[in-house]
Structure 1
């Protein structure tokens, strides 16, 4: 990718037209007042805005993000143009809306990450989307986030975050198949642990010794049920009660059917009230059209009207008679139903009086309870056996993956040594005689299986840590030059760094631009910018940059931002 242009239809915005190589946004100080500062003028926002155009999110829990979102929502359209090979793209984004536009194609917020992965051809190259990739190669600075806490914290997460480590290991060329397999195993083990807690709670309520007693009682009750002797006339009474129940259901169905017919015919009767043909109205309509019927035609129309009215009257009479008949039938059916219900109720009382039904039902109910209790115990025992089997299998899988990961590191020693050599070459550019170290080793219990140890002597100090971050980022670019093609840093990477080493950073960048087609985007403040352009970087020490390199740095300034007037800031306004 080559960034081409960042611009807006808001006239206050300071357009950035990118160079194919080095790009510097310089925060300068035009005011002579010591209280004026080149902080807050938009240097860091320029890189942050690139992230936002590529789908970066606002964290509304953080005050600065909330204020920037509110500001941009009323700012207008912002555009970012870039090339990938011979293909050109322009992203348009209005932050008052959720959608993005790529070459005028509307892309929803949820579909945007997938679209970017397709545009950058990441689908078959890495197994994560564009956003974390951009975080790795374009480290921004944002308040309350820790992108510059260490070499591996490009996602702003704690050092041992699983996905952050996975992304780094991927770009370092490590096969991550075992890592993903180990994560699945770990997740399944965690699920089993939750199951184990449930089983342990259930175990407290279950007495294992009760299982056989329950089965013995069930056998006895099933025998009692099969041998149960009911009173002599019990079967006959039950048969009569069943017949009466059947008759009741038939009567209820008949009553329901009649009620439905009554309702239907009543609706038809009401509808017929509106079916009136007004022949005089027909004549009036024709009269308005200056058309007059002949006398004979009018007589025929009157006769037709009389015939229609007689038919309508006959239909109403027939519907009224049918409704009366159905109503009378329902009255009769209801009387019969009441009588049948009464007879059946007496029979059921007789059955209970015999004592057989109640006793028999109590045996059946107890059998159901026992069967449920036994099923619960059986389910618990089955689940417990399955749990033990699954747990054993997962422990075997986990041990196998661990063993395979040890072998993977052993087999990769030569490759890791080559990666370390590249890292040390970068470090030696800054510290004579000290190349630091780079190791990938087996982790004792982390889900990501492998530890990455990036070390420079005394990297506990801020300046040395920033140099380590710079060298590590250049290492990742060297291993993946065609993946994104861009590296970006915030000016905080120069904080606490010795002036000679700052100059060395730019010397390395210019070589990477020249030899590996790197596009480098950085924002710097006034002091750093002037330091780079001077032939003497500190008293008695000449710059390691050649005059040609200093000229390239000077002409690579794509934007100057000043402190004295809000119009000279990135957005042309101050906010927050």
Structure 2
């Protein structure tokens, strides 16, 4: 449980907490809004402080590294594994923690500080952020430090029990932030519900493998391997044909009988010659076209308006001003026509040059191959023919190796999808088996959630549904009116209380649950009263700590016999004055 929160800044309001339910009230003025950018009464700041002192990151620009707070140290008193401990941390050196097992609430004039040599003072231990998180992981959830990838983390598990409104902690029961990855939610909830979290972790590993395979497929399609891999079916055919060709060539070389192959090479050379002739003919057509285009472009000259005017003057006709205006328009029109004509001719010229360049590249390739064939065909003796044939055999066998390698890669890539789907089906069976074997635990979670939901909504009790899918476990709440802010908030509250009940059953977890006033946004007064009563009852019966912040103007009327005032903390927050908030001063 949390014993206290304090700071070395005398303006900070030290708050002590007891076991059971603790209500921290805040007086909010009418001028305040939820979107006020300034630090107000401090309800959300209290949650931030808890996270800061419970292993939260404090990157550059984060809340506790603001200039107004970075110089201050903050302390949290905890009951950890049956021992009262204190942890101290500051924004100016967020990786350094001072840890002590000495009891007592720190005074602002008694906060520990590192010595000039950077050592911890007497009675304190200097530990890093990673070391502190390891201790909390072990004490809260029994987590080891050498867990594999996609294991539950202390910070993710704790975020369900100390939700933060910023980032989406109150968006839905099954995520503690909007951007939480699916696997993290699946693994964390499976752990908290005492199911086998290794199965959703394995689902994520399959997704990882599939992503890698998809990247390879994309690279193969894009030609990143230097060649388009192609499909396995097509490559199988090409490789078979290439193997047969290489076998035939090797047989001819071993028998030194090249007559048949000689004919094939001759036919290929004839085909290349005809193709080269066709390319030259096409080049001649395009060169003539270029000549015509250049001549046409040079001959395109717009009519001269001045010459027309002189012609009219010679026949003693004086042109009115509006006719002169019309000549100007005609001149502009003809200039536009000429410009468009010039653009069209330029494009046609570019296309012709492109075709010439492409045919030039093809001619060079075909010329090279034809030269090889002509050398083979014109070899004058048996030894020369044999050596040329051996070179062709080596080339054919190289083609076989290249095609076989591409075929094997394509086959592996294509079969990987089926393997991944098979692995997912195996994991689905494991997931179903695990939920069957642990049905008592899962049933208890479902029943507790429904009971707590029915306490708040008699006629619209919510149901917790756990689906086993090929993507892993998926969680859902079914309730009439789902989507309403108030109803959704109360389902989060019921879900969190259910988690605390399950953790209490197996004596696990941090022993505390924290909700700030956002949990009651949009909630009817009757449900707020029922939620507070339910939380107080469970905290007392199950011996855990439930810290709730509330606005004083949102406190509902409770039935007789329920002493709300006994749960209210003696420290009261307000945004009515500059020093009324948690930190004792206002800042942006």
Contact 1:141 1:148 (C-alpha < 8 Å) held by counterparts = yes
**C-alpha spacing 1:156/1:382, structure 2 compared with 1 (3 Å):** closer
Deviation at residue 54 of structure 1 after TM alignment: 1.4
Contact 1:28 1:563 (C-alpha < 8 Å) held by counterparts = yes
Query: How many angstroms apart in 1 are the aligned matches of 2:584 and 2:440?
Result: 53
Alignment map for 1:319-468 (pairs within 5 Å) = 373-387=399-413, 390-410=416-436, 413=439, 415-443=441-469, 445=470, 447-448=471-472, 450-468=473-491
Q: Which residue of 2 aligns with 1:173?
A: 194
Give the length in aligned residue pairs: 420
Q: Which residue of 2 aligns with 1:3?
A: 2
Query: How many angstroms apart in 2 are the aligned matches of 1:152 and 1:130?
Result: 16
SS at match of 1:502: helix
Deviation at residue 66 of structure 1 after TM alignment: 4.4
Q: Which residue of 2 aligns with 1:563?
A: 575
Deviation at residue 73 of structure 1 after TM alignment: 5.3
Query: How many angstroms apart in 1 are the aligned matches of 2:97 and 2:386?
Result: 76
Query: How many angstroms apart in 1 are the aligned matches of 2:5 and 2:387?
Result: 83
Deviates more, 1:82-91 or 1:210-219: 210-219
What residue ranges of structure 1 are gaps of 5+ in the alignment? 226-357, 538-542
Whether 1:86 aligns to 2:82 is yes
Contact 1:218 1:371 (C-alpha < 8 Å) held by counterparts = no
Alignment map for 1:161-200 (pairs within 5 Å) = 161-199=182-220
Greater radius of gyration (CA): 1
SS at match of 1:153: coil
SS at match of 1:432: coil
**C-alpha spacing 1:415/1:221, structure 2 compared with 1 (3 Å):** same
SS at match of 2:6: strand
Alignment map for 1:86-235 (pairs within 5 Å) = 86-103=82-99, 104-120=124-140, 122-123=142-143, 127-142=151-166, 145-157=167-179, 161-199=182-220, 201-203=228-230, 207-208=238-239, 211-212=242-243, 215=246, 219=250
Two-structure CA RMSD over aligned residues (Å): 3.7
SS at match of 1:149: coil
Q: Which residue of 2 aligns with 1:28?
A: 27
SS at match of 2:571: strand
Query: How many angstroms apart in 1 are the aligned matches of 2:184 and 2:132?
Result: 20
Q: Which residue of 2 aligns with 1:485?
A: 511
**C-alpha spacing 1:111/1:156, structure 2 compared with 1 (3 Å):** farther
What residue ranges of structure 2 are gaps of 5+ in the alignment? 100-123, 222-227, 257-383
Contact 1:152 1:164 (C-alpha < 8 Å) held by counterparts = yes
Q: Which residue of 1 aligns with 2:67?
A: 71
Whether 1:517 aligns to 2:539 is no
Deviation at residue 545 of structure 1 after TM alignment: 5.2
Query: How many angstroms apart in 1 are the aligned matches of 2:215 and 2:513?
Result: 44
Deviation at residue 437 of structure 1 after TM alignment: 1.5
Query: How many angstroms apart in 1 are the aligned matches of 2:79 and 2:125?
Result: 17
Contact 1:455 1:468 (C-alpha < 8 Å) held by counterparts = no
Query: How many angstroms apart in 2 are the aligned matches of 1:550 and 1:193?
Result: 58
Query: How many angstroms apart in 2 are the aligned matches of 1:412 and 1:118?
Result: 24
**C-alpha spacing 1:118/1:423, structure 2 compared with 1 (3 Å):** closer
Query: How many angstroms apart in 1 are the aligned matches of 2:144 and 2:129?
Result: 23
Whether 1:544 aligns to 2:540 is no
SS at match of 1:477: helix
**C-alpha spacing 1:365/1:100, structure 2 compared with 1 (3 Å):** farther
Query: How many angstroms apart in 2 are the aligned matches of 1:166 and 1:420?
Result: 18
Query: How many angstroms apart in 2 are the aligned matches of 1:192 and 1:35?
Result: 56
